[in-house]
A and B are shown apart, each in its own frame.
Chain A
């Protein structure tokens, strides 16, 4: 495997409209490199993770880095978002990731969260579960000096040459 090579990095003050702009760009960029399904998964996960930064960033700033480690006809793609976060938000994320690991099966975990969120009046709590299940991504987080990093990784296939 070649070393990690950042293909896309952005630091900005995201708002809902800008998140959509970034998602469209990511979808277009990775649709040229990966198969269409993988590009859509990456775009969806980028959108969900960035929307979380819109909701939870303490200072309104966030960054996203997307890197691809190539390996033959595919590789491992990593999305990392960073933002300042409150202790409560960090606890919520840690709890969600712990629950993912405890349940194990992504499809079963997703249905568990869907059933739970169906009755919620406020918030969905679905974003991370969607990245995990629909995005087929493993996830982890790190906290350093109040900056929360969330990393989502997935195996991807390269686009077939015409």
Chain B
């Protein structure tokens, strides 16, 4: 049984985020186009995601990007900062990050690989 997490719901233009918690995994789905117009909403979503993961003591956070058409460097920076915040947590309190990618969206291959290289111990990439 999954429950929607209201604090993770964000939208800006054709960009949106929603999230749910199933008792084991905190999941978010990013959709649309993450360009300059979406930067603040995306940044707020990742800040809320981090806060929620810490509040509930999540061990696993899944980020579904399979319907995210594009992400610009400003939004990408928000992901880098979020992962950096997880890296800075005490080792025992950190959670794992699973990025769910869509092979048909070619930009994801290189961008997500860069995130994985940034935090090899925290970030896994899975294809949908």
Whether A and B are associated in the same complex: the answer reads yes
Bound Cα distance A146, B59 (Å)? 53
* Interface residue? A40 (CB, 8 A): yes
**Once the chains bind, are A16 and B37 in contact (CB under 8 Å)?**
yes
Contacts of A41 in B (CB 8 A): 106-107, 110
**Once the chains bind, are B106 and A124 in contact (CB under 8 Å)?**
no
Contact A111:B118 (CB < 8 A) given known A48-B73, A124-B74: yes
Bound Cα distance A117, B13 (Å)? 26
B contact face: mostly helix, strand, loop, or mixed? helix
**Once the chains bind, are B35 and A114 in contact (CB under 8 Å)?**
no
A contact face: mostly helix, strand, loop, or mixed? helix
Number of B residues with CB within 8 Å of any CB on chain A: 24
Give the tally of cross-chain contacts (CB within 8 A). Answer: 79
**Once the chains bind, are B73 and A40 in contact (CB under 8 Å)?**
no
* Interface residue? A96 (CB, 8 A): no
**Once the chains bind, are B77 and A119 in contact (CB under 8 Å)?**
no
Q: Which of B36, B81, B105, B107 is within 8 Å of A19, CB to CB?
A: B36
**Once the chains bind, are B73 and A19 in contact (CB under 8 Å)?**
no
Contacts of B37 in A (CB 8 A): 16-17
**Once the chains bind, are B76 and A126 in contact (CB under 8 Å)?**
yes
Bound Cα distance A82, B114 (Å)? 28
Contacts of B51 in A (CB 8 A): none
Contacts of A54 in B (CB 8 A): 36
Q: Taking CB as reference atom, which chain B residue is nearest A19?
A: B35
B contact set with A: CB distance below 8 Å: 13, 33, 35-37, 70, 72-74, 76-77, 80-81, 83-84, 105-107, 109-111, 114, 117-118
Q: Which 9 pairs of residues, A with B, have the shortest CB-CB distance?
A: A40-B106, A124-B77, A118-B84, A16-B36, A126-B73, A134-B110, A127-B73, A37-B106, A118-B80
A contact set with B: CB distance below 8 Å: 16-17, 19-20, 23, 36-37, 39-41, 43-44, 47-48, 51, 54, 107, 110-111, 114-115, 117-120, 123-124, 126-127, 129-130, 133-134
